[in-house]
Amino acid sequence: MRDKNKNPFPCDEETITQTLAVHCKGITKSYGNGNEVVNALNGINLDVFTGQLTMLVGPSGCGKTTLISIMAGILDQDDGDCVVFGKSFKDMNEFEKTLYRGNQVGFVFQSFNLIPTLTAVENVAIPLLIRRTDRKLALEKAAETLKNVALSERINALPSQLSGGQQQRVAIARSLVHEPRLIVCDEPTSSLDHETGFRIMELLQYAALCADRALVIVTHDPRIFDFADRIAKMDDGRIVEVFDSPEDMKKS
């Protein structure tokens, strides 16, 4: 699936190291209270490595979004713990978790979540602005990142003036601009047509590869399974199987 020559983030694939990025153990999470409790996660054990694209797949409602929300630090687990880049969630207070999100995590959403009144480059600069980077520097860095996703022509366009695929590329640039070590994507291609989704996946894959960075992608879409380095199959709040390649999954 990988074509080295197309990679906008050129690097030597030999140097890619696969170290443990996220280590989750015994994660449980339930929503609601009283009679209406939904057990979304029932003891999840999962390791995510840098230099790899890990996919979370499984039927609707099995807890994929809940799991990446916890890994990204935007949702607290009920029980169990995740160690992210050597640091345990249990040892982080609210402030440290906010810092973790701001410094280590990049987000890509199904519906892009761009701020409609900001231009592409301004949207991309947000993670840097949150980290109090000087505005001018932030915009320069954002423009540079947009170049890597092949949008250098449209940096001053508003989201409404961009196609869905272009908007998702802006969102990817935004998830990369502050060089986070974990990128979480929830259904990044399901608002896009097949061809565009394919391009987006290529981009995400390259982005993950050449840095000390892990990528976790939630998807329903079997057509993009081939991009995965590892696939974790979920059902009913559990990881039922982990495959080390798309081929393994197809065999099973």
Ligand X SMILES: Nc1ncnc2c1ncn2[C@@H]1O[C@H](COP(=O)(O)OP(=O)(O)OP(=O)(O)O)[C@@H](O)[C@H]1O
Query: Which residues here bind another protein, judged by CB under 8 A?
Result: 65, 68-69, 72, 74-75, 95, 98-103, 105, 107, 109-111, 113, 115-118, 122, 126-127, 129-131, 135, 186
**How many Å apart are CA 201 and CA 156, to the nearest integer?**
24
Q: Which of 63, 80, 180, 188 binds ligand X (CB under 6 A)?
A: 63
Q: How far is the CB of 65 from another protein (least distance, A)?
A: 5
Site for Mg ion in 22-81 (CB under 5 A): 65
Cα 152–chain centre separation: 23
Site for Mg ion in 126-165 (CB under 5 A): none
Site for ligand X contains 64 (CB under 6 A): yes
Residue among 70 and 120 whose Cβ is closer to ligand X: 70
Q: How far is the CB of 15 from another protein (least distance, A)?
A: 29
**Segment contacting ligand X by CB under 6 A, of 8-16, 57-65, 130-138, 202-210:** 57-65
**How many Å apart are CA 152 and CA 175, to the nearest integer?**
16
Decide which of Mg ion, another protein, ligand X, none touches 9; Cβ closer than 5 to 8 Å per partner kind: none
**How many Å apart are CA 106 and CA 225, to the nearest integer?**
21
Structure tokens at 136: 């001018």
CB atoms within 10 A of CB 216: 26
**How many Å apart are CA 150 and CA 170, to the nearest integer?**
10
- Number of residues counted as binding Mg ion (CB under 5 A): 1
Asked if 221 and 190 touch (Cβ cutoff 8 Å), the reply is yes
**How many Å apart are CA 50 and CA 182, to the nearest integer?**
8
- The closest of 200, 102, 217, 224 to 151, measured between CA atoms, is 200
**Residues in the site for Mg ion, rule: CB under 5 A?**
65
